[in-house]
Amino acid sequence: MEARVAVNQFTDHLNGLLERRGKRRLAARDEIVQRFSNRLCAEQAKRDRLKYEAVKQMWESELCKRMDRMDEQIQIAHDRLVVVKNFARLHSTAEEYTDLLRRVEEVVATYDPYDMGPDIKEALDEMELANVPPVPEIAGCKPEE
């Protein structure tokens, strides 16, 4: 929008200038206006590309942080499970230990991998409260080439 207003103002100024200097130069007006318009469009496209890249980098860094937090939570849960298994193996009979392993396998089989723990949900809520813009690829706001 701003570029269109600037082109119109430039065109009006150029028309007045060229009319004073003669009709012969009016033929060059369209070429000059076109070059000016192309330059403005190129600068706008460059700004759009830079903005897109900045948003993309921000999202990549935020997604990496989230993935690191999720990996830490998974590692903590795995370590706790190993401790429980070792404790059960040392302090239970063979039947109790087999029963425990069967129940663990049932839980793992019914576990929803997309279910997030409270820490992850809280981190995602903080992201939403921070009003982070949408992922560029999903939002469809790729810059024009």
Q: What is the pLDDT of residues 69-99, one digit of tens each?
A: 888 888 888 888 888 878 877 888 888 888 8
C-alpha–C-alpha distance, residues 40 and 48, integer Å:
12
The answer to whether the pTM exceeds 0.85 is no
Separation between Cα atoms, residue 145 and residue 56, nearest integer Å: 16
For residue 17, what pLDDT band results from cuts at 50, 70 and 90?
A: confident
User: What dihedral angle (degrees, nearest 10) is formed by the CA atoms of 117, 119, 121, 126?
Assistant: 180
pLDDT tens across 22-46, in order?
666 666 777 788 888 888 888 888 8
Task: Name residue 119's amino acid.
Answer: D
**Burial (0-12, 13-18, 19+ Cβ within 10 Å), 75:** exposed
Task: Write out pLDDT tens, residues 120-136.
Answer: 666 666 655 555 455 54
145 by Cβ neighbours in 10 Å (0-12 / 13-18 / 19+) ranks as exposed
Where in the chain are the domains?
2-139
The conformation of residue 113, written as its DSSP 8-state character, comes to T
Which among 39, 49, 1 has a CA at the least distance from the CA of 145?
49
CA distance 44 to 38: 10
15, 25, 144 from 32: Cα distances, Å: 11, 11, 24
